[in-house]
Amino acid sequence: MRRKPQKQDDAFSAYEREAYAHFKKADPVLHKAALPFRGKYAMRPDPKKRNDQLFAALAASVVGQQLSMRAADTIWERVKTACGGKVTARTIATTSSPKLRKAGLSAAKVKTLKSLTNAVLKEKLNLLSLRTLTYKEAAARLTQIWGIGPWTVEMFLIFALGNRDIFSPGDLALARATERLYGLPKNTPRIELSRIAEGWSPHRSFACLVLWKLYEG
């Protein structure tokens, strides 16, 4: 489940200015497509997020796997209710699997949340420490958890940790938007999508925000 970008009413952030300037030089097609969103969406990571907040963000990404945003949001609210109003490692640990299934989670997602909870509570995984790691390093640690794959890692890094240079070639909306924008055939191989995205670096996360808006529109 992708988290909605935070709206901002002030002028460009410095990061936005840098991203647009880079797109203008490196990829005029994306730059033109991004112009309607100038000043509206920015990457604003919260460096003060606590471990339990990061856990909730990662759990939300697990819940959102292979679901539309609307469906994911609905099930996420049910999961929060099942956990007594707050999703933390401890509330997931004390909430029975049948209760989580009743909230709308598949057996596989329940297994993933329980595995993640176990790793966090036993201190095998420190989510706060991921802030200082590269994408590959963070992905290597997170994908050790059963059921967590590249897409979940990428959503977590973009929206929870505020990594500014992530592209998710496995995200269907991003794939469709990229294909449409560049006149590519449907189901263009992910390696080709990633190649195009390389030109957006070091602002690939902001490019994702633009592409998601294009897909929605």
Are 65 and 94 found together in one domain?
yes
Residue 56 corresponds to which tokens in the numbers above?
């909730």
In tens digits, what is the pLDDT along the chain, a chain of 217 residues? Answer: 555 544 443 444 788 889 999 999 999 999 999 998 887 665 555 556 788 999 999 999 999 998 888 999 999 999 999 999 999 999 999 999 999 999 999 999 999 999 999 999 999 999 999 989 999 999 999 999 999 999 999 999 999 998 999 999 999 999 999 999 999 999 999 999 999 999 999 999 999 999 999 998 7
18 and 64 inside one domain: no
Residue 2 lies in a domain: no
Q: Are residues 134 and 195 in the same domain?
A: no
Same-domain pairing of 136 and 212: no
* Lookup: tokens for 13: 């952030």
Domain harbouring 86, CATH code: 1.10.340.30
Q: DSSP letter string over 124-189?
A: S--GGGGGGS-HHHHHHHHTTSTT--HHHHHHHHHHTS--SS---TT-HHHHHHHHHHHTPPTT--
Name the nearest CA neighbour of 14 among 210, 203, 157: 203
Ramachandran bin of 118, using left for φ above 0, alpha for ψ from -120 to 50, beta for the remaining angles: alpha
Per the domain annotation, does 7 fall within a domain?
no
* Whether residue 149 sits in one domain with residue 55: yes
Confirm whether 58 is domain-assigned: yes
Q: Do 177 and 151 belong to one domain?
A: no
Structural domain count, the chain: 2
138 in the same domain as 38: no
116 and 174 together in one domain? no
The enclosing domain of 169 has a CATH number of 1.10.1670.40
pTM of full prediction above 0.75: yes
Q: Are residues 19 and 104 in the same domain?
A: no
Q: What is the Cα–Cα distance from 176 to 159, expressed in whole angstroms?
A: 21
Residue 10: what pLDDT? 45
In a domain, 4, yes or no: no
Contact 56, 87 (CB under 8 A): yes
Give residue 33's domain range.
14-43+165-216
- 9 within a domain of the structure (yes/no): no
Last residue of a domain, which of 144, 159, 174?
Answer: 159
Same domain, 199 and 132: no
Within 8 A by CB and 6+ apart from 12, the residues are 20, 38, 39, 42
The pLDDT assigned to 2 comes to: 55
Residue 191: both structure tokens together: 């390696």
56 shares its domain with 144: yes
pLDDT of residue 50: 86
167: exposed, middle or buried (Cβ count in 10 Å: 0-12, 13-18, 19+): buried
Number of Cα atoms under 13 Å in the Cβ half of residue 207: 31
